Structure 1
Amino acid sequence: MEFRHLRYFLAVADELHFGRAAQRLSMSQPPLSVAIQQLEANVGARLFERDSKGVRLTPAGSAFRTSAAALLARAEEACALAREVQAGEVGRLRLGFVGSTLFNGLSGWLQAFQASHSRVEVVVIELNSQDQIEALLADDLDLGLVHTDRLPPALDGRPLYSEPFLACLPADHPLARLERMPLAALSDQPFILFSRKGSPDYHARIIDICRQHGFYPRLQHEGRHWLSVVSLVAQGLGVSIVPAAFQRAGVQGAVFRPLQEAIEPSAVFAAWRRDTEAVLRERFLAAGSRAAMPKNADIE
């Protein structure tokens, strides 16, 4: 049985006339009659009575008509849904993000996307960069917002924006009086860093920044999330160098100062599996407009 047989049957059932049904279907009558005979053979029941009085549905035909109409409607809905999914109008996007993006316009980005894609379900999951990479490889995420461009061969990515690093100190720290922070002033301070396991690149990056300016940081504590790092600083347990986004986190007890030296900024990258469909992902990335980002973020 083919779907065309159902369409032919419903046309005849509506018209109760093979000639008019054939005209409605833009075909000649003989092939239509053959198709209905084939359908009746497949169903195993007569669906129409044909005599000199005309064409009538049999009881079996009347029962079949309801189910055939529902089946054809569901098939058409399935086809329409498939086209919408392919076009990126319907679907589900599992988005991983690092904490700094919360303070760099992620909520505005999500709202802009959902306003134009109300039938797309976006599931957001906060994970550090390394956990996002592992989740992407396991196909547990569709898109990640990470702090590294060092991706495995199975993943691809692109830069989104960058922002400066700032010195982060307890509010009552003597160095907090400085308007700009010389890196060397932090050389004898206990440091709080993002954990090496959570983001090997970021951990190494902060250490390299310090080493390039003449000292190796005194590592005192580690946090699995940058917000944890800022919170530990606010409690007076040390100092840190963090992305500028966290000065908007509203953590009481922590202050932020621009670094005196020019250093390479912190960057956020989009990452995804190379073997996945691009339409929904590209539509989401397109929604991340410049307007959704803070003024100090440099959009790539």
Structure 2
Amino acid sequence: MEFRHLRYFLALAEELHYGRAAQRLAISQPPLSVAIQQLEASVGARLFDRDSKGVRLTPAGEAFRASATQLLERAEEACTRAREVQAGEVGRLRLGFVGSTLFNGLPMWLQAFQVRHPRVEIVVVELNSQDQIDALLGQELDLGLVHTDRLPPQLAGQPLYSEPFLACLPAGHPLAAEAEIPLTALSEQPFILFSRRGSPDYHARIVDICHQHGFRPRLQHEGRHWLSVVSMVAQGLGVSIVPAAFQRAGIQGAAFRPLAETIEGSTVFAAWRADGDAVLRQKFLAARDVR
């Protein structure tokens, strides 16, 4: 049995006339007759009676008609959904993000995408950069927003934006009264840094910044998320150097000051599997430009 047999059957069931049904199907009458015979042989029942009075459905044909209609409707639905998935109009996007993106427009970005693509389900999860890389490699994420461009060969990426680093201090710290902070003023302060395991590049980046300005940071504590780092600073446990986005996090007790020196900023990258489906990813990345 083929889907064309079902279409031919339904056309004849509605027209009850071989000539009109054939014309409606844009075929000649003989192929229609052959197709109906093939369908009846496949079903194992006579579906039409044909005599001098015309064509009419048999009881078996009446019963088959409802099922045939449902089968064709479901087949069309399946085809439509497949086309929509291929076009990125429906589907599921699993997105990982680092905490700083929450304060750099990610919520508006998500809203802009959902307005344009309301039938796409977005699942978001906050993970540090290394955990996102692991999840992308394990096909647990479709797209990641990370703080590193040092990606394994299975992954590809592109830079999204950069922001400056700021000194993060307890609000009552003497240096918090300064308009800007020389890096050397932090050389004797206890440091709170992002976990080396969570983002080796980011950890090394802050340490290198300090080394370039003549000191090794006195590492006191580590946090697996930047908000944890800022929260520990707010509790008076040390100082840190953090992306500027976190001054918008609203954490009481933390003060943010520009650094006196000019240093390269913090960059957020999009990362994905090089062999992954590109349609939803491209649509999501494009939505950032229209938010």
Q: TM-score range by the shorter chain?
A: over 0.9
Structure 2 gap segments, 5+ residues each: none
1-structure distance, mates of 2:181, 2:18: 88
- Tell me the SS of whatever aligns to 1:77: helix
**What corresponds to 2:237 in structure 1?**
237
Matches within 5 A, 1:1-300: 1-289=1-289, 292=291
**What corresponds to 1:295 in structure 2?**
none
Q: Which amino acid aligns with 2:244?
A: A
Q: Which amino acid aligns with 2:206?
A: I
2-structure distance, mates of 1:139, 1:17: 55
1-structure distance, mates of 2:52, 2:78: 40
Deviations 1:111-130 (A, max 9, x none): 00000100000000000000
2-structure distance, mates of 1:6, 1:157: 48
1-structure distance, mates of 2:251, 2:22: 74
TM superposition outliers: structure 1 runs of 4+ over 2 Å: none
Offset of 1:135 from its aligned partner? 0.4
CA RMSD of superposed structures (Å): 0.7
Deviations 1:42-94 (A, max 9, x none): 01100000111100100110000000000000000100100001001000000
Structure 1 gap segments, 5+ residues each: 293-300
Identity of aligned residues (%): 81
Q: Which amino acid aligns with 1:44?
A: G
1-structure distance, mates of 2:29, 2:145: 60
2-structure distance, mates of 1:84, 1:77: 10
Q: Which amino acid aligns with 1:29?
A: Q
- Tell me the SS of whatever aligns to 2:64: helix
Offset of 1:256 from its aligned partner? 0.4
Offset of 1:276 from its aligned partner? 1.0
Q: Which amino acid aligns with 1:285?
A: L
Offset of 1:177 from its aligned partner? 1.0
Offset of 1:236 from its aligned partner? 0.5
Number of residue pairs aligned between Structure 1 and Structure 2 = 291
1-structure distance, mates of 2:31, 2:115: 49
- Tell me the SS of whatever aligns to 2:269: strand
1-structure distance, mates of 2:237, 2:94: 36
2-structure distance, mates of 1:31, 1:54: 19
1-structure distance, mates of 2:268, 2:5: 55
2-structure distance, mates of 1:94, 1:176: 40
Deviations 1:162-208 (A, max 9, x none): 00000000000011111011000000000000000000000000000
Deviations 1:259-286 (A, max 9, x none): 1111110000000001111111100000
Offset of 1:235 from its aligned partner? 0.5
TM-score (norm. length: structure 2) = 0.99
- Tell me the SS of whatever aligns to 1:262: coil
Deviations 1:232-251 (A, max 9, x none): 00000000000000000000
- Tell me the SS of whatever aligns to 2:222: strand
